[in-house]
């Protein structure tokens, strides 16, 4: 009886190994994901450098560390006339980008920021290939930190409002960050309220102020090369 189970047990192990190998192969081809977890300090991501490191670390953990990863985040200049700002669209490479299942999100920067973008709840998966809770789910965590306008550019600097939590260094109740909704239902849903990258600002920069509107401090990561 014992010998009869050995082949079955071996088959189960082999299937598990094959599934793991397939997952690793898919991960190596992945060039886009939503962070499965935030750094844990509200809108303070450690600046762009810290956010990029978070993307790289999550990617590395699932076997996608062969790419250089950047967070889709803009920064604001200290003054309106200052040119010291960063556009999120300028720091994510040229595409195309695929999720953990090999589905194409967009073929270019222009397509990503157009109605033809394929970024929605079904495709905006985590680095683990998992869906992210959105409208109708508990909890709803569809607010993705971006600090960006719909075309992927930065907001003006002071005296205009803070839309980047102090360029991703604030974790208190003051300030705010523009967010997008990863769970838009299709290409026609591109209005201000349903944009994947520019839907509404947070109530503040602490974790407690980010949660009420549907946020968990998550953001998008793109492979630049």
The tokens describing 121, both together, are 């709840």
Note the pLDDT of residue 64: 96
Note the pLDDT of residue 68: 97
Phi and psi at residue 118, to the nearest 5°: -100, 25
Instruction: Quote the CA–CA distance of 215 and 146 in Å, as a whole number.
Output: 12
Q: What is the CA radius of gyration of the chain?
A: 19
Contacts 24+ apart (CB under 8 A), 13-20: none
Instruction: Quote the CA–CA distance of 209 and 173 in Å, as a whole number.
Output: 6
What does each of the 225 residues of the chain score in pLDDT, given as a tens digit?
444 444 544 444 444 444 444 444 467 899 999 999 999 999 999 999 999 999 999 999 999 999 999 999 999 999 888 888 999 999 999 999 999 999 999 999 999 999 999 999 999 999 999 999 999 999 999 999 999 999 999 999 988 999 999 999 999 999 999 999 999 865 444 444 579 999 999 999 999 999 999 999 999 999 998
The tokens describing 221, both together, are 């990561």
Q: Is 159 exposed, middle or buried (0-12, 13-18, 19+ CB in 10 A)?
A: exposed
Note the pLDDT of residue 81: 80
Note the pLDDT of residue 180: 96
CATH for 2-223 is 3.10.100.10
Instruction: Quote the CA–CA distance of 100 and 15 in Å, as a whole number.
Output: 20
Instruction: Quote the CA–CA distance of 35 and 118 in Å, as a whole number.
Output: 18
Note the pLDDT of residue 131: 97
Residue whose tokens read 């090369």? 225
Note the pLDDT of residue 185: 65
Which of 127, 158, 143 lies closest to 199 in space, CA to CA? 143
Phi and psi at residue 8, to the nearest 5°: -65, -45
HSE-up of residue 122 (Cα within 13 Å, Cβ side): 7
DSSP summary character for residue 201: E
Which of 148, 147, 145, 162 lies closest to 217 in space, CA to CA? 145
Domain ranges of the chain: 2-223
């Amino acid at each position: 009886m014992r010998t009869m189970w050995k082949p079955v047990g071996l088959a189960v192990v082999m299937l598990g190994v094959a599934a793991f190998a397939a997952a690793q192969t898919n991960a190596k081809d992945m060039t886009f994901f939503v962070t499965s977890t935030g750094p844990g300090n509200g809108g303070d991501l450690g600046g762009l450098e810290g956010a990029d490191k978070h993307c790289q670390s999550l990617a590395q953990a699932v076997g996608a560390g062969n790419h250089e990863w950047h967070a889709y985040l803009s920064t604001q200049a200290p003054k309106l006339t200052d040119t010291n700002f960063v556009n999120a669209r300028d720091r994510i490479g040229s595409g195309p980008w695929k999720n953990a299942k090999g589905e194409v999100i967009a073929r270019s920067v222009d397509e990503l920021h157009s109605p033809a973008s394929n970024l929605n709840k079904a495709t905006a998966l985590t680095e683990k290939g998992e869906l992210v809770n959105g409208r109708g789910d508990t909890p709803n965590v569809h607010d993705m930190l971006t600090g960006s306008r719909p075309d992927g550019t930065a907001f003006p600097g002071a005296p205009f409002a803070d839309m980047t939590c102090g360029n991703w260094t604030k974790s208190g109740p003051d300030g705010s960050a523009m967010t997008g909704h990863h769970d838009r239902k299709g290409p026609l849903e591109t209005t201000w309220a349903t944009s994947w990258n520019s839907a509404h600002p947070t109530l503040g920069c602490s974790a407690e102020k980010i949660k009420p509107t549907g946020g968990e401090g998550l953001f998008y990561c793109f492979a630049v090369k």
